[in-house]
Amino acid sequence: AIGNAVADEVATRKDGFVALAVHGNGLFSARFPVNGNPLPESNLTVAYLLDDVEANENDEDLVIDITGLFVQSQGLPISIEVINSNPDLVTADLSGNILTISYAEDSLGQATIGLIASSGQEQVSEGFNITLLPAINASEIVVAGITRG
């Protein structure tokens, strides 16, 4: 384990592969055989991690190119599902390899966007948090200690 995590769900496939549904702070990674079966080799992987996002309310849409995020080593097709923990705050639209995040007008808060890649019977996921903060209006900035020459 890297960080701390809680396993919500554990599932075992026929070939002995164990999948954990985990949430918490950090990443979780483990491989172990079940019932003496050899470990299956994963053909579907996550190539890189997505950074969390901080944006101001009423910001323009965020466009993220996720080309190469998921890799299928045998060249099989990959389907990607988008999940959104707070669709009232942000919308997430995936078109090809372009993920577009739109923000609800005059809204503050946090959402988690997850991308779940599937290929055959394999599934991997990657996600990130979005935090919408109050916008700073330049006309409201008060500067102390202004010196006039």
Q: Give the tens place of pLDDT for each residue, 52-102.
A: 999 999 999 999 999 999 999 999 999 999 999 999 999 999 999 999 999
Task: Please tell me the distance from the alpha carbon of residue 126 to that of residue 88, in angstroms, as a whole number.
Answer: 21
Task: Please tell me the distance from the alpha carbon of residue 78 to that of residue 44, in angstroms, as a whole number.
Answer: 9
Q: Give the tens place of pLDDT for each residue, 112-146.
A: 999 999 999 899 999 999 999 998 765 555 555 55
Helix (H) or strand (E) holding 55: strand 53-56
Give this prediction's pTM. 0.68
| Amino acid (one-letter) located at 142 | V
